[in-house]
Structure 1
Amino acid sequence: MSAADRPVLPGASAPASAPERRTRWRRRLPWWALVTALALAGLLWVFPFIWMVSASLKSPAEIFAGGLSLIPEQLRLDNYSRAWTDGSFRVYLLNTVIVTVGTVVIVVVRCALAGYVLGRYRFPGSRLILGILVATLFVPTGYTIIPIVKLSMQLGLLDQLSGMILALAGGANVASILIYAGYFRGLPSELEEAAVVDGAGFWRTFTRIMLPLSMPVTATVAVLTFLFTWNAFFLPLVFSFSNPALRTVSVGMQAFVGENSTDWSGMAAAGVISLLPIVALFAFMQRYFVEGIAGSVKS
């Protein structure tokens, strides 16, 4: 009995013929081509990170001799111990965590309050404030470093982590404010009306109702601020000129660059150490990050 003559059981679909299978394969061909192209692009995108992990397990001579090879001939785990101890990355990592957490807290609180006011209230000059905030996007960072350093010196904060935190958190953060403003603008006004009926004031309405509702946006702003602060180089470099113990991980990479040679394997190990917290944070909060971006754009 041929396949075409076999009886079809109730609820079961008939086997596809050869022409139908070819037609189905042709329809799926563009989809498979797109998946293959995206997979190759993704591999090309992450290849530098994979190569850095591989280089952190090699000797300096093997890094140059191996080229783009990813498999070390001999695992050199001492690169990580050298970066952690000799390169003082245990100190730099702690400094970076303190500076990043402090900056994230200040930026989230400040941008949430500013976004709430600009998104929910209309007052004389609100459009002018938004225009000034947007205009600050076109101001280069180099133009603000001189007044920041001078003000920090006058306040006695130039050689302290607290000064670095205030300098990094004192920017306009226009994108974060606009994300909050767009999200708060899309919330129904009945929430505030019900809060007023219950006797809640501005601060209680913000902390008890509005801020908890904006958790996806808060996660987005926290991730963006975390990435910016963790990778900041210019301001931490200026603040740690006279005190190398205040260096962050991005500035601490200079410890592996000598006058006559560079410890490339130690630098690669330090780079892996500095990137692991970022990868872990984004893997944990990527869902909230996407939801926050989508919510603010939709609003």
Structure 2
Amino acid sequence: MTATRSSRWLIGTGLALLCAVWIYPFLWLVSGSLKTNPEIFGKGLDLLPEAPVWENYSRAWSEVGFSSYMLNTVLITFGTVALVILRSALAGYVLGRYDFVGKKVLIGIFLVTFFLPEGYTIIPVTQLTDMFGLLNSHLGVILGLGAGGHAAATLLYAGFFRTIPKDLEESARMDGAGPLTIFFRIMLPLAKPITVSVFILQFLAAWNAYLLPLVFTLSHPDLRTLAVGMSAFVGENDTDWAGMAAAAVLSLAPVVAVFVVLQRQFVESLAGAVKQ
């Protein structure tokens, strides 16, 4: 009994130390957001500021324009998430429920997109968006982020829909339901575990996206997202590290909030998806 308690104590201590190491960079970031630039470099790894400089947050929010960057990021993120869920669910439904010529080839193409870096496709995506006159707009960024392959989300939906008995669809058809009614009223609600997973993963990807929003907003700085707006703290001769730390905290706060609120549903959705 004593040995068991000792082993648990050792394991708990080890896990606590690992957690401390893991969370330290975030704590240092919060601490740096309340320091001056000289204090950041002078105090090194010390977390306690001499006197909290709350002006760093007001400077980042108002003077640098992070209030508008936040609005842009919210609009683009939720627009992208909605687009990805809709098109991935529809594509996954077709792949999971129907057999057609070239299905295996199409799935193979989806798998290949896993290995394509974003930088390889940024030029054709930019040119295509410019052809439609959407390059310098929120809609253009949403389409650029949300209209790609998104193979993981599509294949997750396909795998889930494949496990649903066909009798459910046949019963709905006998009751007079059409394809869209079956999908939106029966199939999509059943796929809630996958939808929650795709929502969280795509939310993180769209919120932190940098390359595509940077290219799409080069000539319109007022359309920048939070990730792109970080460059505003880098000058020709110096960098406002304290202001950048405050801006980073402002950028991370919504992500942390979403994770805290949805973490339980996310874990349950993954467990449900694995069981399926």
TM tier, shorter chain? over 0.9
Paired-residue identity, %: 54
- Partners of 1:95 and 1:248 within 8 A in 2: yes
Alignment gaps of 5+ in structure 1: 1-23
How far apart are the structure 2 equivalents of 1:33 and 1:119? Answer: 48
What TM-score comes out, normalization by structure 2 length?
0.96
Q: Deviations over 1:17-56 (max 9, x none)?
A: xxxxxxx020233333222222211221111111101111
Find the counterpart in structure 2 of residue 219 from structure 1.
Answer: 196
Rounded Cα–Cα distance in structure 2 between residues aligned with 1:298 and 1:122: 24
* 1:187-198 matches, cutoff 5 A: 187-198=164-175
Question: Could you say which residue in structure 2 is the equivalent of 1:265?
Answer: 242
Contact kept? 1:183, 1:295, Cα under 8 Å: no
Alignment of 1:37-52 (within 5 A): 37-52=14-29
Instruction: Tell me how far apart the structure 2 counterparts of residues 217 and 78 of structure 1 sit (CA, whole Å).
Output: 42
Query: How much does 1:206 deviate?
Result: 0.7
Counterpart-to-counterpart distance in 2, 1:87 and 1:36: 43
- Aligned equivalents of 1:246, 1:38: Cα separation in 2: 43
Measure the CA separation in 1 of the matches of 2:193 and 2:103: 25
| Structure possessing the higher radius of gyration over alpha carbons | 1
Distance 2:57 2:119 in 1: 34
Contact 1:159 1:239 in 2 (8 A): yes
- 1:62 and 2:39 correspond: yes
- Aligned residue for 1:30, secondary structure, equals helix
What TM-score results when the alignment is normalised by the length of structure 1? 0.89
Partners of 1:49 and 1:194 in 2: how far apart?
53
Structure 1 position 276, deviation (Å): 0.6
Instruction: Tell me which amino acid in the other structure corresponds to 2:196.
Output: A
Contact 1:220/1:292 (8 A) holds in 2: yes
Match of 1:244 in 2: 221
CA contact (8 A) 1:103 1:166 kept: yes
Give structure 2 stretches of 5+ with no counterpart.
Answer: none
Q: Residue 189 of structure 2 aligns to which amino acid in structure 1?
A: P
Report the CA distance shift for 1:296/1:127 in structure 2 as closer, same or farther (over 3 A).
farther
Q: Secondary structure at the match of 2:53?
A: coil
Q: Is the 8 A contact 1:182 1:296 kept in 2?
A: no
Q: What is the alpha-carbon distance in structure 1 between the residues aligned to residue 160 and residue 22 of structure 2?
A: 32
Shift of the alpha carbon at 1:60?
A: 1.1
Range that drifts further, 270-279 or 179-188:
179-188
Residue-pair matches, total:
276
Report deviation, 1:296: 2.5
Higher helix share: 2
Shift of 1:86: 0.9
Distance in 1 separating the partners of 2:98 and 2:261: 34
Distance, in Å, in 2 between the alignment partners of 1:133 and 1:32 is 47
